[in-house]
Structure formats: C-alpha cells, structure tokens
Structure 1
Amino acid sequence: MNEFILAASKGPKALIECDESIPCDPCVHACPVNAIEKDSLVSPPRVLLEKCTGCSLCVGVCPGLAIFVVDLSKDKGTVTLPYEFLPVPENGEIVEVLDSQGRKLGKGKVLRVTAGRERTMLITVEVDKQYALKVRNIRVLKNE
C-alpha cells in the first residue's frame, strides 16, 4: 500500500480490490496504456502504477465494482468510484462517504458525475485525505 500512496501522491491511480479467481478481464482490455495485467484469465488483476494515468476507464467496466481511482496530489483527496443507485448525486452535492462495510467515514463533495457502462455511473468525490484510501461508496443525503 505504501507504493500506491506514493504513486497517488503524484496524481490519480487505479486501485483494484478484486480477490475473485474467476474468468474476468474487461479492465485489462479497457486500459488504453496497458497498465492492468493478469497472470491468467482467472487471476486477480494488478495495476502497473508507473504506467497508470488514472483515466478511470477501468472503473466503469468492472462488473464487480472493484476498481477505484484515488488522487492524493492536492490538499484534498479525490476518489472516483462506480455507483449504481438512485438518486444519482449532482455536481457540487455533499454526500456521506462510506467504507467497504458501509460505515460512515465523513462527508465529501461530488466533483463529477459521468456515465460508465450500462447502469454504472462514475462519481468523483472530494474527501479529506485521511479517508481517500478507504472510501468505497457514497450515500446521497437529498431526502434528509
């Protein structure tokens, strides 16, 4: 993880949390700079950090929603994550940021909402750097 933190402190980098040994490789084919590789069709993918540009194309194609792009190069961290819920947040909206277990970490500001594949939206949220490596989902607060 220290290698990832160092790389992300220089700009956006993909972080893959795929532990599945299944035949899946859309992320490998989506990467325009060949920064994602696998030893076999069923092995988990890994990011070659020195090649990764943080373009987030891999985030939108992962059927397991297991890829995130983290950027620690500015005062606040940013995380681009896959999102398949309604309502879809709007740019500038304040949302709760959640960890992988659904626990609230704090609040974040939505910087960008873009369409990914099919139902998957890509949400880029600005958060305190202390949470950037832990954010895995958001909760929209519109109805509260």
Structure 2
Amino acid sequence: MLPVDGVPTPEDLAGVIPPPERLARGPVVIAECFQPIPCDPCTHSCPRGAIGPFTDINEVPRVNHDLCNGCGLCIARCPGLALFVVDMTFSEQEALVKLPYEFLPLPAEGNAVTGINRGGEAVCLARVVKVVVTEKMDKTAVVWLAVPRHLAMEVRHFQINPA
C-alpha cells in the first residue's frame, strides 16, 4: 500500500495506465505520481501539452494520452522520478520502457541488466537499448530498456549485472 511501503496498489495504477488501444498506438508516458505535492516541472516540459496544466501546484499530473507521442522529455524533469514511457509496439516479444536513472556508473547500450519491479524485486533480464544524457537533464539519465512485453507495466528500475 502506497502510504506504508511506497508501492502503488493495482487500483492506483489503474488510474494512470493508458487504455490498451492507446498502448497499441506507440510510445506513451505514464505518470506514477500519486501524492499531491507542490511540483509541476512535468507540465512545463511537455511540448505537446499532454501533461497538465495544473490549476493548483499540489495536483498530481493528469496525462492526456492522446496528445502524448512518448518523446520522454518530461522524464528527466520529474524530481520524483515518477514518469516513464512505455512502447508496446517496440517488437513482438519486447516492449520498450524509458525510465529515469540517477546512479553511476551508467549502463552501456547493449548491456544485459536485471529488470526490477516497484517492490524492488528482480523480475526479468532486460537489454539496454539506449542511454540518453544531456547537460539540460541535470544528471538524470533516461535509460531505454527492452523488456519482455508482459512485464512492461512492472519494470520500473534495473540493476547493472556484474561483469
């Protein structure tokens, strides 16, 4: 339960996961921000206006999934690391999950990593497709992971496997 252990419930997630027909059209952001706090960088970072605008800075983000093209510009702007892009059209066997990452060392493209779920459990092997880091991202990398399709809504972090 979110207030006790920080893990959202299935009911929490049902309110933010795009409908299957939207997921079938390509990459889309998922805002897993469930508690009202004074924060709104995500709404200012979206060039398409898919997030927000907020009438109160304490609101949780609301995403218009039809306006989102999955560019991921919002991911690194979220100080709560609560934004993810999921692309269920990546391949027949894999989905692409773009997620924020603030640890060193950064993984390398092509590396095999362990996909971790919201509860901190290892759930799969994943492949690093791309690592995006720019000066504007203020040291928050966006790592693109290829994960088994059935785990696209579960994998929200990863662990670099020892060499």
* TM bin (shorter chain): over 0.9
Q: How many residues align?
A: 143
Name the structure 2 match of 1:17.
32
Distance in structure 2 (CA, Å) of the matches to 1:69 and 1:107: 19
Deviations 1:36-71 (A, max 9, x none): 013421110011011001000110100000000000
**Correspondence for 2:102 among 63, 76, 84:** 84
RMSD: 1.4
More strand by share: 1
Counterpart of 2:150 in 1: which secondary structure? helix
Gaps of 5+ in 2: 1-13
Q: Give 1:3 shift.
A: 4.0
Distance in structure 2 (CA, Å) of the matches to 1:5 and 1:106: 22
Query: What TM-score results when the alignment is normalised by the length of structure 1?
Result: 0.94
Report matched runs for 1:76-115 at 5 Å: 76-115=94-133
Distance in structure 2 (CA, Å) of the matches to 1:112 and 1:21: 32
Name the structure 2 match of 1:120.
140
Counterpart of 2:74 in 1: which secondary structure? helix
Of 62-71 and 14-23, deviating more is: 14-23
Counterpart of 1:57 in 2: which secondary structure? coil
Distance in structure 2 (CA, Å) of the matches to 1:4 and 1:102: 26
Query: What TM-score results when the alignment is normalised by the length of structure 2?
Result: 0.83
Query: Percentage identity across aligned positions?
Result: 36
Name the structure 1 match of 2:71.
55
Report matched runs for 1:37-56 at 5 Å: 37=52, 38-56=54-72
Deviations 1:68-105 (A, max 9, x none): 00000131100000001122100000000000111011
Distance in structure 2 (CA, Å) of the matches to 1:39 and 1:94: 42
Counterpart of 1:46 in 2: which secondary structure? coil
